[in-house]
Structures are given as C-alpha cells and as structure tokens.
Structure 1
Amino acid sequence: MSFLSASQMTGGYGKADILHGCTLTVEKGQIAVIVGPNGAGKSTAMKAVFGMLPLRSGSVTLDGDDITSLTPQDRVGRGMGFVPQVNNVFPTMSVEENLEMGAFTRRDDFRDTIEQVYELFPILREKRRQNAGELSGGQRQQVAVGRALMTKPKLLMLDEPTAGVSPIVMDELFDRIIDVARTGISILMVEQNARQALEIADVGYVLVQGANAYTDTGPALLADPEVRRTFLGG
C-alpha cells in the first residue's frame, strides 16, 4: 500500500459533487503534483485528503492507517501538514512567532526544528523578528511552509505554493520543496505553473472535472503530446 492512498474520492459542496472517483497516491519521500485546468477540482482534492471536505464515497489511508473519518486536527496529529493558498500566515505576528504557532500541539523541545527551518530558509532567520505581514509574497510562503514543517509532518500538502510570486522566487521555492522531500517527507502539491511543477514531480496527476485524466511520472507527462497540447500550451 502507498504511503498516502486517497482512493476513488467522490464528494463536493452541498449536493454538488466536485470530485468524481479521484485517486491520488504518494510514496515516502515522493513529490506528487496535481495539475489541470481551472475548476478541475485540484484544491478540492487536497481539501478532501486533509479532511476539510466530507466524502460521499472513497477512502484515505496514511502510512497504512485508514484516516477517512478523522478531522483535519487529528490528521495533523497523524503526520499531515497543510499549507493553504491564502491566509496562510499570522500577519501581525513575527516570523518566529508564526513558527512557534506551528509547534502549538507539540510537547517536546522544538528549538531544533526551528533551526532546521532557518537552515532551509535562511532569509527567515534574518527576518525572524519582523512581522510576517511585512514580508514579500515569496517570504510569506516560506513562513507558511516553515510553520507546517514545525509539526514534523510525514506528508506536506501545498496548495498553489508559487501563486503570485516571481519566476525567480518560484524556482527557489521549488528547490526548497525538493530539499524537503530529500529528508523523507512526502509532498502533495497543487500547482498552476504546471510545466515547472512537473519538472520536479516524481508523479503527476492531471485532473479534469474532478476525475483523473492522466497519471504518470513528471517527465512522461511533459513528454506526452496530448498533455502538452491540452494542458501545457503546446
């Protein structure tokens, strides 16, 4: 069984289903990327995996345990970390206070984890006393990812981590995501910059209308003429 297995997920909002039998799997230390057109259900699939969206059918297992009925808070306790696209920092709190909030549920000494976050994102050490709301968009994303890492997740989920940042900052964020995966943390990521995201993906999922349209390795999807023509601009 895969480390994360979200199988045949069907669900949505109210009476309208957004997901239609969507399946996502991620192995230990893999980077899995969800791409697709606007309205394809990418962020909805992420919310379903994290327990923010009740499923009408399907299941979610993490590290062999069925977590389908667990709340998002309980899933964090099982090793999930989630970084939403917007409103993902406390703007009036300092960078370091944001990171400390990420360790709110921990009862051990988390200073070593803060040090690891600062090693991963050196600019955050430099700005640790500055309010997160005063940072650039890319720096705020680093704070958000760092705060999620403070929970010591086994699976880190990122919803549009490069939204609104410059190409240079996007490349830097992708480099840091690779660094995180190399530590053994699994990554599940929704990304609008499909071509760049698939370049770093071990596995890619192309969703269309809440269902799997294509599933393959990142390089294979980039090389697929139909995927390139339909979703990557040729």
Structure 2
Amino acid sequence: MSGSNNAPFLIGEHMTGGYGKSGPDILHDCTIAVDPGEIAVIVGPNGAGKSTAMKAVFGMLDLRKGMVRLDGEDITRLSPQERVAKGMGFVPQTSNIFTSMTVEENLEMGAFIRRDDFSDTMAQVYDLFPILKDKRRQPAGELSGGQRQQVAVGRALMTQPKVLMLDEPTAGVSPIVMDELFDRIIEVARTGLPVLMVEQNARQALEIADKAYVLVQGANAHTGTGKDLLADENVRKSFLGG
C-alpha cells in the first residue's frame, strides 16, 4: 500500500519523546517529512534536537506521542534494523565506515541485506563518487574526511534505500569539501531518492533545500522551502547571523 497523494513519503509526525523510558522529552510535537526527489534539511541552534529528530525517525528514540510513516505504512514500533529492511538508509555522524577495510569492502558491507547481484548498484555509486572508484582498493581509514563521508553515503546507497538520511554529513570538513558533498547529495536526490539531512551549516544547507525545518528546543520553529527561510528576516536574524 502506497501513501496517498497528500501524505509525505516519509514523515515523523507530532513526535514527542526522549532517550530511554524515563529520560526527559527532547522532542516536543516535532514534525519532519520528505518526498521523493527532495532534499529536506533540519537546521537550528546547537542542542535544538536536530539529530534527535532524525534518530527518532530512524527508531533510536522512545516516542511518547506521534508516529513515523514510510510510504504510507506505520513503522513507529519497528526497530532501526527493521526500518533498514523497509528501506531506510541512515548515515550516522561518526563511526560510519570500517576504517581497516578497503573502500570496496565497505560498499560490499553496505549490501549485506541483499541477496541479489549488487554490481549494478556499485557501478552507480562509483558513477556518483568517482574518487571512490579511484581509491577502491585503499583502506577507508587512509581517506580524507570528505572522502570517508562519500564512502559512508555510498555504503547506505548499496542497500538501495527508499530514503536516505544523513546526520551532519559535512561535520568537520572544509568549505570546499562541503560544497562537493552537497553537489553529490543533490545528484542523489535527482535520482528520485528522498534525502533527509541534519546540517550545522545552516545557510548552505538552506540553499540546496527543497524543504527545511528550523528546530528550537526540540520543536518546529519555522518550516518552508530553503529559499523562503533564507529570505525570512526572523530566521536570518536568529539562526544565520543577520
């Protein structure tokens, strides 16, 4: 059963919750969604719950209220592993590659849930990230930060996900590398895959966002297209330094 035309492809709706059964709520009635071919970004100040919102969508958080739906199906009760099997590709911010394995072995590890021939997918990943093809025999730990992030994204793509979720993909990389990663992320979205990402570099993220969510203290503060939010005086003053 597929979602009806007015329901987003992936939505975490009215999410309230925190870590553990008794931890305090970090998210408060928070909603984030993304559709095929779109880049949706979650931005906001430090400690706003951006990564927590993403983790809630991925099932790493106990929701007290709200639900998560993927392609019309309620997946709120599923574990992260079960969500991967349903088509979620999640790239955490840290520990997202096997440093002692080669680039190609990392990509093969990404295909662990597949029982079919994944050579076509690997060719697509190498088309998207030519540098990985060049370095496919190198241990991933020898790569630069930006190249490691490409390995991590490529590994998630090997599962042929229905949605790609990236937690701060440009953390700790230079502005040039950030632009390069964003270009690759745009290419991924152009293949029709929905991309949901948490990003510290708010201004740059809003420039490529079809849909954007500004979170403050775990709640939705502003929602709109990236362009709308870049043009919004309140957003500019509060979050983009004027």
TM-score (norm 2): 0.96
SS at match of 1:16: coil
Specify the alignment match of 2:180 in structure 1: 172
Q: Does 1:193 align with 2:193?
A: no
1:54 aligns with 2:70: no
- Identify the residue that residue 13 of structure 2 maps to in structure 1: 7
Q: Return the match for 1:129 from 137, 146, 151.
A: 137
Residue 32 of structure 1 pairs with residue 40 of structure 2: yes
| Unpaired stretches in structure 1, ≥5 consecutive residues | none
Deviation of residue 80 (structure 1)? 0.5
Give me the whole-angstrom Cα distance separating, in 2, the residues matched to 1:45 and 1:11. Answer: 9
The offset of 1:210, in angstroms, is: 0.2
1:99 aligned residue: 107
Amino acid at match of 2:192: G
Asked if 1:138 corresponds to 2:146, the answer is yes
Structure 1 residue identity aligned to 2:14: Q
The letter of the residue matching 1:2 is P
CA distance in 2, matches of 1:108, 1:68: 28
Q: Is 5-14 or 188-197 further displaced after alignment?
A: 5-14
Q: Which amino acid aligns with 1:40?
A: A
Deviation of 1:29 (Å): 1.2
Give the distance between the partners of 2:120 and 2:169, measured in 1 at CA. Answer: 25
1:231 shift after superposition: 0.1
Q: Distance in 2 between matches of 1:233 and 1:15?
A: 33
Equivalent residue letter for 1:48: A
Separation in 2 of the partners of 1:26 and 1:121? 24
* AA matched with 1:5: I
State the Cα distance separating 1:25 from its structure 2 match. Answer: 1.3
Q: How far apart, CA to CA, are the structure 2 residues paired with 1:164 and 1:115?
A: 28
Mapped to 2, the partners of 1:202 and 1:37 lie a distance apart of: 20
Q: Deviations over 1:181-203 (max 9, x none)?
A: 01110000000000000000001
Query: Counterpart of 1:157?
Result: 165
Percent of aligned positions that are identical: 76
- What letter matches 1:16 in structure 2? P
Task: Please report how far the alpha carbon of residue 27 of structure 1 lies from its aligned counterpart in structure 2 after TM superposition.
Answer: 1.2
Shift of 1:15: 2.4
**Amino acid of the residue matched to residue 211 of structure 2?**
V
Distance 2:136 2:113 in 1: 21
- TM-score, normalising length from structure 1? 0.99
Provide the secondary structure at the position in 2 that maps to 1:140. Answer: helix
Q: What is the CA–CA distance in structure 1 between the aligned matches of 2:33 and 2:118, rounded to whole Å?
A: 30
